[in-house]
Homo-oligomer: A and B are copies of this chain.
């Protein structure tokens, strides 16, 4: 049983606003990894008031800082956002650009591989390749 957006914001100590709520809900209901502009286009109509670009970026940064969502860097120049906060990694299908979540359990544990000299807080693995047809 997973948390609702509302419960998640409460749990993470983020003050609720309708803008934060719809953006969080939008990210929670998609498996895509949308950009700020895609999020703006996707949620603007859910609100009774105009939604500005600055608010989208402010909100995304607030949510990232609070640990509600994550930034995903797979290509130069465009930050993508992800409401999947389980430890996971990404596979980029180079033909379609589709980004697929790879649960951490699918990979061997590399958390400790670097030894004592590096205190690893987090790590991300990004795979690039072809997604075979039957998986699409």
A130 to B122, CA, bound (A): 10
Q: Are A71 and B76 in contact, with the CB atoms below 8 A?
A: yes
Count of chain copies? 2
Q: Judge if A1 is at the interface, Cβ distance under 8 Å.
A: no
Contact among B74, B94, B124, B128 for A125, CB-based, below 8 A:
B124
By size class, the interface of chain A is 35 or more
Which of B118, B123, B127, B129 is close to A126, meaning CB atoms less than 8 Å apart?
B123
**A77 to B76 alpha-carbon distance, docked (Å):** 7
Most B CB within 10 A of own CB, among A76, A91, A127: A127
Closest residue of chain B to A110 (Cβ to Cβ) is B107
**Distance between Cα atoms of A116 and B133 in the complex (Å):** 11
A123 touching B118 in the complex, CB below 8 Å, given contacts A77-B77, A110-B108: no
Give me the interface of A with B, judged by CB distance under 8 Å. 71, 73-77, 79, 91, 94, 102, 106-110, 113-114, 116-132, 134-135
